[in-house]
């Protein structure tokens, strides 16, 4: 049973079938359009309203639409104008309904009220918008260089999506002397090209040929496509190996180490692959000696040293080497090699001492031959030329006597004391590169001759000897040096004899002849002998003996061995000096003057005075330097009438020596003229008092001794020198003269007071005042000292001297 709904659907389906049948018969005719491909978007193809006889005004109401059957919508219809226009560019080569060479688009135009369907067929026409293309950009061909001319080789054809005249029409090939092409046409009209060999190939000249193949279509304008044609020429063994040179000349040093490279041969085969692989070998003309000496590497062509090379044994090696390839038909080439062994400076020069004289005397004559030397070298050329030399700082020189023979001669004076022996090194050097050398050292010893005199360290010796020395005391050691050897060096010492005042030096001094120790034979007293001057000689034991002397000055040094002697006021030994003075003596009056003498030297004889005992210390004063005793005040009635003064005179020695004097003073009431007021010594003074007599005798003795000394000195100076040896100047003469001068200035006085004032010391003939002298005082002396400043007031002796005021 059908329901109402089912009946309604059924009726509608039947109506549609009827309508479709009516429309189909009405649209059975097809409207055909042809357009070129690649039209721009928006381009009008045709006006469908006009072509189909439709009213443009009703197109919109009738819902005109375009239905493309199974295709992409490339076109559409304008409902306002009825025009068919391009929506998207159409490429014929990508036509979706392409069944053959032609391309069609099936379209249906549908209108409603009433329903009408129109069939439209749109043909897409081809244009030349594609260039020919090869399947591969490069076409590789392998052709043997033995291929005959005219041989053909097929090439890949080009493809052009276009049809008809727009497809591939022909092929072109770049110009080549070896190749050309021939265009072939297939049954379907397609074009292809064959490569034809027009000239024989040679791989060694050109192994690869690069060609350009061009495909051209028939369109207007024509389009083309290219592909590279690469022809690889295959090798055949048509070339023999060839060396760089046919002949090789090689120089090699002898003694080259085993394995050293001599030469690297290189044979080139222009072929390739196994045809170019080369092996090296000696030919039958190469001697066994050469093959034993040199090794040939068959693969690399290296020739290395196999055995020892010695220039002196074998100088030249000749060989012939063959290079063979590995082709099917082996080809070979050869070369000759000449190896010249060069001499190497491998032999050291040699020295041979033919004769040698040692030892020799140091006074050997110049140009005397000391040694004869020969030199040699086994090498040749410059390697065998040798030069011989010795150090430059030696008193010898080399003199060539003959070929490779040299004499060593003395060129400078020799001195054993400077250089006792010489180590002479002979050095021989060849002229090779690098040079080789050898040396030989010999020692030349010099014998001593007595050519040096003994030498003292000093030319003048001053020896100070303290007086009161013990006899036999060592004074000094005077040692000389002699640089000679043995007996020429043994020295003996002597004192050169010289008498002074009838006294020989050998009586005063002694010297050890072996070591030069100088001794004193007696005890010296400074107050008697102050110095000695003599010479000591040192003599060697050579033949003839040589000697030298030195001056010795002995100075006797004073000791404080003499105590002061009080000469004023004079008194007998152990007695007391009694003096009387007026009790009315004024303050500062001279009561007494103590004078002491010391025979020691100036330093030890400087005397100072002091009170050892005094009754009243407030009454008297004592000057410590001049010994004057003066009153410090006037006497009072309370002072005792007798005063006891003990004065000590002390010298400046170490230890100090002294003497004392006791003065007993008695005061008198009578008017007696004070000693301090006395300004003149009475002329009738007894000049022959005991004290003055003692002084005269002493001074006379000293003057006599000095006179004897002067006479002896004059006699010694007048004596002629001994012929054997001249003695150096003697200082004793100077001493004698000085003593003579002192003697000339000695005063003889009968006045002890004068003696104490003036005879303390004389220097260079002048009287020296040691104590203050009261101005205006008169003194009588027997002679006038020179340069004292005293004035002679009388023409007769004894003279009266007035001291200047």
72-91 residue pLDDT tens: 788 888 888 888 888 888 87
pLDDT at position 557 over 60:
yes
| Residue 744: predicted pLDDT | 32
Average pLDDT over residues 785-792: 42
Give me the chain's average pLDDT, please. Answer: 79
DSSP letters for 252-297:
EETTPPTT-EEEE--EE-SS-GGGT-EEEEE-TTS-HHHHHHEEE-
| Residue 670: predicted pLDDT | 56
* Confidence bin at 793 (pLDDT 50/70/90): very low
Q: How does pLDDT run across 196-249, given as a tens digit for each residue?
A: 999 988 888 888 999 999 999 888 888 888 899 999 988 888 888 999 999 999
| Residue 122: predicted pLDDT | 85
pLDDT at position 288 over 80:
yes
| Residue 690: predicted pLDDT | 53
| Residue 763: predicted pLDDT | 37
Most confident range, picked from 154-158, 514-518, 557-561 = 514-518
Average pLDDT over residues 421-440: 90
Q: How does pLDDT run across 344-356, given as a tens digit for each residue?
A: 888 889 999 989 9
| Residue 16: predicted pLDDT | 36
pLDDT at position 747 over 60:
no
CA dihedral of residues 718, 720, 722, 728 (deg, nearest 10): 50
For 70, residues 6+ apart whose C-beta sits below 8 A from its C-beta are 96, 97, 106
Q: Structure pTM?
A: 0.40
| Residue 722: predicted pLDDT | 47
- Lowest mean pLDDT, pick from 14-28, 308-322, 738-752: 738-752
| Residue 572: predicted pLDDT | 67
Going by C-alpha positions, the residue among 684, 686, 701 that lies closest to residue 570 is 686
Asked whether the beta carbons of 357 and 447 are under 8 A apart, the reply is no
* Confidence bin at 692 (pLDDT 50/70/90): low
| Residue 1: predicted pLDDT | 42
Measured between alpha carbons, how far is 84 from 800 in angstroms, rounded to an integer? 189
Q: How does pLDDT run across 328-339, given as a tens digit for each residue?
A: 888 899 999 999
Looking up tokens 């429309």, which residue turns up?
23
For 663, residues 6+ apart whose C-beta sits below 8 A from its C-beta are 569, 576, 577, 578, 579, 592, 594, 629, 644, 645, 646, 647
| Residue 725: predicted pLDDT | 40
pLDDT at position 682 over 50:
no
């Amino acid at each position: 049973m059908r329901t109402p709904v089912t009946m309604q659907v059924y009726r509608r389906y039947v109506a549609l079938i009827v309508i479709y049948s009516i429309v189909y018969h009405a649209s059975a005719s097809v409207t055909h359009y042809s357009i070129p491909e690649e039209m721009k978007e928006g381009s009008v193809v045709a006006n469908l309203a006009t072509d189909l006889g439709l009213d443009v005004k009703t197109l919109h109401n009738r819902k005109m639409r375009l239905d493309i059957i199974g295709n992409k919508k490339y076109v559409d219809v304008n409902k306002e104008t009825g025009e068919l226009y391009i929506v998207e560019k159409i490429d014929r080569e990508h036509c979706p309904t392409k069944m053959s060479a032609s391309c069609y688009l099936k379209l249906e135009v549908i209108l409603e009220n009433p329903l009408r369907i129109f069939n439209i067929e749109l043909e897409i026409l081809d244009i030349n918008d594609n260039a020919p293309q090869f399947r591969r950009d490069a076409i590789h061909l392998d052709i043997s260089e033995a291929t005959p001319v005219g041989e053909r080789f097929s090439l890949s054809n080009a493809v052009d999506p276009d049809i008809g005249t727009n497809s591939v029409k022909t092929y072109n090939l770049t110009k080549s002397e070896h190749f050309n092409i021939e265009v072939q046409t297939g049954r379907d009209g397609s074009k292809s090209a064959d490569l034809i060999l027009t000239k024989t190939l040679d791989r060694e000249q050109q192994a690869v040929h690069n060609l350009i193949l061009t495909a051209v279509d028939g369109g207007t304008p024509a389009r083309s496509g290219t592909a590279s044609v690469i022809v690889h020429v295959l090798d055949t063994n048509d070339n023999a190996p060839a060396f760089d040179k046919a002949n090789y000349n090689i120089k090699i040093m002898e003694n080259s180490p085993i394995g050293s490279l001599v030469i690297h041969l290189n044979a080139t085969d222009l072929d390739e692959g196994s045809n170019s692989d080369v092996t090296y070998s000696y030919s039958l003309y190469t001697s066994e000696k050469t093959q034993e000496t040199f090794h040939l590497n068959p693969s690399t062509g290296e020739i290395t040293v196999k055995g020892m090379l010695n220039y002196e044994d074998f100088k030249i090696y000749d060989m012939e080497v063959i290079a063979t390839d590995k082709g099917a038909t082996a080809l070979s080439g050869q070369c000759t090699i000449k190896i010249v062994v060069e001499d190497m400076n491998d032999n050291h020069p040699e020295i041979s001492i033919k004769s040698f004289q040692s030892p020799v005397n140091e006074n050997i004559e110049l140009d005397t031959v000391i040694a004869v030397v020969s030199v040699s070298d086994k090498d040749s050329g410059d390697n065998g030329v040798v030069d011989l030399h010795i150090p430059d700082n030696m008193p010898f020189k080399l003199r060539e006597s003959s070929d490779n023979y040299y004499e060593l001669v003395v060129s400078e004076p020799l001195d054993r004391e400077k250089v006792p022996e010489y180590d002479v090194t002979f050095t021989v050097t060849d002229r090779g590169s690098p040079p080789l050398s050898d040396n030989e050292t010999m020692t030349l010893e010099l014998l001593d001759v007595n050519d040096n005199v003994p030498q003292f360290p000093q030319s003048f010796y001053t020896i100070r000897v303290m007086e009161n020395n013990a006899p036999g005391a060592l004074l000094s050691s005077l040692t000389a040096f002699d640089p000679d050897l043995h007996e020429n060096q043994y020295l003996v010492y002597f004192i050169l004899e010289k008498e002074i005042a009838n006294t020989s030096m050998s009586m005063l001094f002694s010297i050890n002849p072996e070591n030069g120790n100088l001794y004193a034979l007696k005890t010296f007293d400074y107050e008697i002998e102050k110095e000695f001057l003599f010479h000591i000689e040192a003599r060697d034991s050579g033949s003839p003996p040589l000697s030298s002397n030195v001056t010795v000055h002995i100075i006797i040094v004073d000791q404080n061995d003499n105590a002061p002697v009080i000469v004023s006021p004079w008194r007998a030994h152990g007695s007391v000096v009694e003096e009387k003075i007026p009790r009315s003596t004024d303050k500062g009056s001279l009561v007494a003057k103590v004078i002491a003498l010391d025979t020691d030297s100036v330093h030890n004889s400087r005397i100072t005075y002091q009170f050892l005992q005094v009754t009243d210390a407030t009454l008297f004063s004592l000057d410590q330097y001049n010994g004057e005793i003066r009153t410090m005040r006037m006497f009072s009635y309370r002072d005792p009438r007798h005063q006891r003064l003990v004065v000590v005179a002390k010298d400046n020695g170490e230890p100090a020596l002294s003497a004392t004097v006791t003065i007993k003073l008695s005061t008198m009431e009578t008017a007696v003229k004070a000693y301090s007021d006395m300004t003149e010594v009475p002329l009738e003074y007894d000049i022959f008092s005991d004290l003055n007599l003692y002084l005269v005798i002493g001074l006379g003795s000293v003057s006599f001794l000095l006179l004897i000394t002067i006479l002896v000195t004059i006699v010694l100076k007048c004596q002629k020198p001994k012929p054997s040896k001249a003695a150096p100047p003697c200082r004793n003469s100077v001493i004698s003269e000085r003593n003579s001068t002192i003697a000339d200035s000695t005063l003889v006085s009968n006045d002890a007071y004068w003696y104490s004032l003036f005879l303390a010391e004389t220097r260079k003939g002048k009287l020296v005042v040691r104590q203050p002298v009261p101005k205006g005082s008169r003194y009588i002396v027997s002679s006038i000292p020179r340069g004292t400043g005293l004035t002679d007031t009388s023409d007769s002796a004894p003279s009266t001297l007035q001291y200047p005021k």
